[in-house]
Amino acid sequence: MWLSSKTGLRCGLTTALRSGLSLDLPCSGFYLRSLHVGQVFSLTRTFSEQDLVQFSVLTGDSNPLHLDQDFVKTTVYSRPLVHGVLVNGLISALLGSNAPGCILLKQEIRFPAPLFTNEPVLAQVQVQRVRLSTALVSVRVQTKDQTENLKVVLEGTVTPEKPSS
């Protein structure tokens, strides 16, 4: 299995939410002040066409690259692309679940490859540096393509502020 845990702070409990999200829940009471360099948190998710429709309704983003299969076939892509901001939401989910109350101060991300509907992705955050009030966290979302090669669809860094306790 290509999803692995490198942190000892998780209780080992995995919850499958109705949305299809699989998330390792942290032990209760875990906050940013408990972060240490090298910790990794991960989750997996597969976005469906219905997820894209719901996201488009919420945001007003009606770009046909995300919603119209016939339009997509006229481009270099084979099927609808998942909105980059929707993929980036996985990073927020990881940080919010593992460091409750943290606020993102800065985020630098890029999208090296597209993510298509129905491709399972692995989102990971890894702590690179910890200071008194902030941390530097590397982020990466990847999937396996049809030939089982890893494909990175989002990478970058985020700087969360320590939550008030």
pLDDT digits (tens, 9 = 90+) for 50-109: 999 999 999 999 999 999 999 999 999 989 999 999 999 998 888 888 777 777 888 999
β-pairing verdict for 103-110 and 135-144: unpaired
Q: How confident is the model at residue 10 (pLDDT cuts 50, 70, 90)?
A: very low
What pLDDT score does 140 carry?
Answer: 79
Strand partners, 135: 130
3-state percent helix, strand, coil for the chain, nearest multiple of 5: 20, 40, 40
Please choose, from the candidates 85, 17, 65, 13, the residue with its C-alpha nearest in 3D space to the C-alpha of residue 45: 17
Give the class (CATH, top level) of 10-161.
Answer: alpha beta
Length of the chain equals 165
CA atoms within 13 A on the CB side of 113: 15
Say whether 59 sits in a helix, a strand or coil.
Answer: helix
What pLDDT score does 164 carry?
Answer: 57
**What is the chain's mean pLDDT, rounded?**
76
Domain segments of the chain as ranges: 10-161
